[in-house]
Chain A
């Protein structure tokens, strides 16, 4: 590890992974495929993985580099449609199409990141809305992107790896988990290395960063490109492994806000927080749905139930922001510190 790596808490094993990370990885790669029901995989884990990855991409940009974006769903859409078209038109292996899709999303992210060289905060956020509307418009307007499909909804290709068709829920889950794990490790390496210093320096004090020679403009553009590339891959996972269709409608402003909430609820500039935030955003509405079905079934109509759910969800987010602005990650830190203290006391 480089000298820049942030101080490490907890034991590190010979592999360089901390114990909790190893536990989570072995649960994810071994226990879950053996035990999880198709429902859990399809309704919870697949969207969770795709949204976690999107959150990770946005956190790199917003949490680490301090650039607010409301265009995340646009870059998901770019990734999904680019992967679809590379697959359709080149016949390259799927992983190659995904890499090309990530590059496409990165380039488009770079272009929409250019205003960040001039704009800040609220104004930048508004300018990233341009990406959101432009991409959705282009994808609906030009049917070439959806291969001329009249509805604009197209079936995603089945993922094939070395002749192996990954169309079962477990297969898609493992594919998604592998990609998310690899990118998470990459992001960890980036943010704990010298580039992480640049990102946080730009976020914390742009003037000071500039005066000491941190390449501010380059750092912002790198953040936009990396972030959009990662979010692009998240879009591929969303379309190819979760929905199994590719369509512009799911990549709307609501989705962009959802990803922003994941980052805020989880905690800015924390990797594990992003996963916690995504977990909450995916699971909470399901729980709420169950609960309200149990409480109100037959009493009031389904539309009203949906509305109540949204209000409760919104209220929870607001409460959360007031009670713990540093997010779930901070809560976890406190809990584990308390736990460690208990263990020590015996």
Chain B
């Protein structure tokens, strides 16, 4: 790698693998061939050393070597996307642990849940953490979406990443819905009964779609098995792939917007030719913008191209430290919740008795509230489909390049109305509804289902 910049290069032998460890008498295992074969470079607190931390590690490679300094501010993104990623990782780990003890059959699923509670060391804790992390993930993904909206960060060149984000939300909801059935208790059975019957209101295809989803005419073994396969194989892989693309594009699009940023520098990143970057023109080459392949361009140009040179900081350690702290905090929160609150387990699923009230999980309870008032085709199909279509189309319909709130009054007003409506319906459904869907304020009796 030819270093053409004027800054003095650090002594090469500090960074290059040393074949012959100096014989100081004691064993310097960090200089050993074996150590050096794993970690090719020692940690050096020089710009080049920091850059190499990112370059020479496949996991850190997700990060660029340098990021815009504004990314370090927490209020910048509230780290919501990152928190969601951490939660997903927690769900993967706890989920795989649960898989060791869980059999998806109607005869054993419920018993496995009970055994987890009483017979498996820390089994209940793992189940609690899985459950609360799942709820939190839905919440965090929704708040993340709202944050991105209010920041105007879905505008050019990030339109498609917003679309991917909406896909991630859908998959997250799919995760929760399929996971909800797995304990095979009364809560599971009836929430999924209501949820899948909704599908039968889809015009023309409804009945076929519903039967396809539940694998028969009634919820039973086929349903449990289908939901399990979706939950532990199809959805995790889909989410992982989409997440990869999502994060990749966040980086390629130059991280989140600055004020008045949309449509300016960031556009360059969306120019045709993926993998090709256009360094900002400097006086030296102002008339001929260079286009180089990422792989051969020298380090300084890579970072300079992605961000104006003056306001960048090294990812290692600045951003990384913040991420580690946020990840630890997230783990602490779900662990705390898991220790404090047990995941619910009602009586075993019983098709001849519907519990009162039969509520959907909180993120669908707003829909259930609508369903108690309006025709199922409207409330159960058209409204949710409409919301998703509006979300997907948003970046292509809202062509206003401004990111400041005062120049996006229409979009912000409409979105806020949507959000407030959804939140209100959810609160009414979750907290103010009792048996027979009667209005019962939570201070009389709480029928909240989690």
Are A and B co-members of a single complex?
no
